[in-house]
């Protein structure tokens, strides 16, 4: 009861100033107070926020619109950081709550099978493929006409073209559908992929999916290796390979592995 008496004394000025409904408790004996109702009713006063009865703390809903506008997200990392795993988990979270998702992946990346997104830990899901000629806005719009979509997921988004990133941005803005892209930030030469560069410029939110170098520092770069484990410092930017083809490193050890052969 001593704690309740001190609380009444502390809040006396606040209740008087704000005209709060719990002011009636000032005239009540401490042992007669319902402690749960007393402290719950006092919370708005302590935060200096007036809340009317039955008033929601959520933003108001507009007719036929979501309370939060859709965004374009870019989840980026180096190789073997778990991007595809994170994508599949996020999609599962939507579906578990009865919300439909639309999965897309680069058509020429068939390591997990044609039209499928797979992760190193063994989980996978069916997905539509895209290539350089795909109009992603049209694909998303058609899918939305046949089902109620809650989110679009794009795997291997580093392979998107500049125009395709704009198509995704249009889908977010004009169709009000969230689009979550997962992909590599830089290639084995330390240069941005075209799709990643466009997403870095246009995404509403960017999130790093982290992994570590063998030294324990955060890995931000990647090297390409041949069949004998030798580091390759030339070749085409796009080459689909497994874990034995690419190794993620911190910047310092990437410089050592490549022999500093690239312009600084």
Per-domain residue ranges for the chain?
Answer: 2-46, 72-208
Q: Are 157 and 49 spatial neighbours (Cβ–Cβ below 8 Å)?
A: no
pLDDT of residue 46: 36
Rounded (10°) CA dihedral 22, 23, 25, 26: 150
Cα separation, 85 vs 77, in Å, equals 13
The reply to whether the predicted model has a pTM over 0.85 is no
pLDDT tens sequence for the chain (264 residues): 565 555 555 545 544 444 444 444 444 454 544 544 444 444 433 334 443 444 433 333 333 344 568 999 999 999 889 999 999 999 999 999 999 999 999 987 555 556 889 888 889 899 999 999 999 999 999 999 998 999 999 999 999 999 999 999 999 999 999 999 999 999 999 999 999 999 999 999 999 999 999 999 999 999 998 888 888 888 777 765 554 588 999 999 999 999 876 554
- The answer for residues whose C-beta is within 8 angstroms of residue 100's C-beta and 6 or more apart is 94, 147, 148, 149, 150
Q: Please choose, from the candidates 177, 165, 162, the residue with its C-alpha nearest in 3D space to the C-alpha of residue 136.
A: 165
Question: Which residues are bridge partners to 153 per DSSP?
Answer: 103, 180
Per-residue pLDDT, 229:
85
Which residues are part of the catalytic machinery?
156
Domain spanning 72-208, CATH architecture: 3-Layer(aba) Sandwich (3.40)
Query: What's 64's DSSP letter?
Result: T
What is the spatial distance between Cα 26 and Cα 7, in angstroms, rounded to a whole number?
10
């Amino acid at each position: 009861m001593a704690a309740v008496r001190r609380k009444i004394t502390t809040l006396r000025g606040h209740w008087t100033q704000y005209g709060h409904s719990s002011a009636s408790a000032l005239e009540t004996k401490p042992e007669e107070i319902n402690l749960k109702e007393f402290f719950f009713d006092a919370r708005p006063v302590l935060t200096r926020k007036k809340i009317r009865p039955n008033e929601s703390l959520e933003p108001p809903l507009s007719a036929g619109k979501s309370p939060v506008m859709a965004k374009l997200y870019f989840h980026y990392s180096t190789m073997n950081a778990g991007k595809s795993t994170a994508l599949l988990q996020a999609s599962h979270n939507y579906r578990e709550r009865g919300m439909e998702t639309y999965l897309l992946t680069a058509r020429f990346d068939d390591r997990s099978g044609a039209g499928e997104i797979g992760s190193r830990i063994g989980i996978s899901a069916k997905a539509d493929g895209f290539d350089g000629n795909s109009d992603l806005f049209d694909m998303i719009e058609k899918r939305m006409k046949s089902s109620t979509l809650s989110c679009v997921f794009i795997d291997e988004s580093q392979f998107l073209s500049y125009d395709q990133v704009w198509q995704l941005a249009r889908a977010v803005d004009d169709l009000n559908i969230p689009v979550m892209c997962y992909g590599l930030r830089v290639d084995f030469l330390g240069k941005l992929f075209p799709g990643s560069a466009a997403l870095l410029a246009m995404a509403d939110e960017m999130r790093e999916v982290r992994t570590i170098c063998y030294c324990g520092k955060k890995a931000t770069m990647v090297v390409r290796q041949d069949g004998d484990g030798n580091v390759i410092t030339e070749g085409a930017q796009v080459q689909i390979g497994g874990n034995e083809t690419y190794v993620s490193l911190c910047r310092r050890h990437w410089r050592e592995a490549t022999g500093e052969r690239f312009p600084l």
